[in-house]
Amino acid sequence: MTRLIEVRGLTKVFGSGPNAFKALRGVDFDVESGDFVAVMGSSGSGKSTMMNILGCLDTPSTGSYRFLGHPVERLTQDQRALLRRRYIGFVFQGFNLLARTSALENVELPLLYRGESRAARHKGAMAALDRVGLTAWAKHTPSELSGGQQQRVAIARALVTEPQVLLADEPTGNLDSERSVEIMQLLSALNRDGGISIVMVTHEAEMAAYAHTIVRFKDGLVLAIEQREESIRVRN
């Protein structure tokens, strides 16, 4: 396995002087290619800060972050945007789809930024919607879709660029348990069959049970890393 993400001695301080808040206080953390990692921890443990740094939305105060061997902290803002565009897919708790925009157009958006042609955008987006089982809903806008369907559109949008890693920030946080299971099974299948690495923040043990590795955060430090022998099998 290639090492996808390698984090060493990562710190993140917000503010300065006496009001400074240390969100991360020296984190070491790896994600192997093809892994499914669940990041757990109570709120304020630094897991969201960690995710923002992994997603190149934020930069660490000190420490190193290598993505596929490249030091990310040396990249410019635009280079980080290009890295996100090419290698990283985001799934958010609040879905974050563009309102009044069809599922298809939402999924096409990353391809639009990559400068793909109209035909290629349509083909790619329909394929991604197919992977999440929503081709029939392509023309619907988010307000016409259920929460579970919206999250699937968001997953399709993250998948459409065929990223190396999917970063999911509490993807089931806004869903009922039945929809949550559906989404987790979808992610699990994508990981197993599609070979997509997944890093998922959650505070629910049932959701973390789908992952192969569980990283527990506490007070800005990694408390424990558990390798799980048996993650939940996806029903075929």
Partner 1 sequence: MFGTSLLLALKEIRRHKLRSFLTTLGIIIGVASVVTMVSLGNGATQSVQEQVSSLGTNLLTIRPGSGFGRGGGARPAFFDLDDVEAVRTQIAGLRIVAPQTSAQATAIYEAQNWSTTVAGTTNGYFHASNLELAAGRIFSDAELAAGKSVCVIGETVRANLFRNAESLGKSLRLNDVSCRIIGVLEKRGQGGFGQDTDDQVVMPLKTAMRRLTGNQDVQTILIAVDQQFDSAAIGDAITSLLRERRHLRHGMEDDFRIFDSKQLSDTLSGTTRTLTMFLGAVAAVSLVVGGIGIMNIMLVSVTERTREIGIRLAIGAVRREVLMQFLIEAVTLSAIGGLIGLVVSFVATLLIAMAVDLPFTFDFGIAALAFVFSALVGILFGYVPAKRAASLNPIEALRHE
AA identity, residue 148: G
Kind of pairing between the strands at 36-40 and 213-218: parallel
Note whether 223 and 217 are within 8 A (CB). yes
Contact 87, 67 (CB under 8 A): yes
115 binds partner 1 (CB under 8 A): yes
CA distance 15 to 138: 44
19: left (phi over 0), alpha (psi -120 to 50) or beta: alpha
For partner 1 (CB under 8 A), the number of binding residues is: 29
* Residue 120 near partner 1 by CB under 8 A: no
Nearer to partner 1, 78 or 230 (CB): 78
Q: 230 is written with which tokens? A: 């048996």
User: Which of 75, 92, 140, 147 is in the footprint of partner 1 by CB under 8 A?
Assistant: 92
Please say which residue, 91 or 190, places its beta carbon nearer to partner 1: 91
Residue 90 as a binder of partner 1 (CB under 8 A): the answer is yes
Distance of closest approach, residue 230 Cβ to partner 1, in angstroms: 33
Q: How far is the CB of 186 from partner 1 (least distance, A)?
A: 19
Longest dimension (CA), the chain: 55
Determine contact, residues 188/43, Cβ cutoff 8 Å: no
Among 75, 109, 181, 221, binds partner 1 (CB under 8 A): 109
Applying CB under 8 A, does 114 fall inside the site for partner 1?
yes
Q: Which residues bind partner 1 (CB under 8 A)?
A: 52, 55, 57-58, 77-78, 81-82, 84-86, 90, 92, 96-101, 105, 109-110, 112-115, 157-158, 161
